[in-house]
């Protein structure tokens, strides 16, 4: 479960970074390019991705030995 949360958090973070890059105009070729709305959406996704990924790293396994 920990690895799955980390991977999901990483994917959300990467997609958010692409959205933010397109919103700022660093990544051209999309309807999102240059639209600040997508920067803010991407920034929110980065924050959520960091939280989920950190939660995956910090959570303990439910199985006890």
Q: pLDDT tens-digit profile of 55-65?
A: 888 866 555 55
Domain boundaries, the chain: 2-58
Quickly list DSSP for the chain: -HHHHHHHHHHHHHHHHHHHHHHHTSS-SSTTTT-HHHHHHHHHHHHHHHHHHHHHHHPPPS---
Find, among 36, 33, 40, the residue nearest to 16 by Cα.
40
pTM of the predicted structure, to 2 decimals = 0.84
Per-residue pLDDT reduced to its tens digit, 5-59:
999 999 999 999 999 999 999 999 889 999 999 999 999 999 999 999 998 888 6
């Amino acid at each position: 479960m920990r690895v799955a949360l980390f991977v999901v958090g990483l994917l959300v973070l990467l997609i958010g970074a692409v959205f933010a890059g397109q919103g700022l105009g660093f990544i051209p070729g999309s309807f999102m390019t240059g639209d600040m709305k997508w920067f803010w959406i991407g920034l929110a996704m980065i924050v959520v991705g960091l939280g989920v990924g950190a939660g995956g790293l910090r959570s303990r396994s439910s199985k006890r030995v």
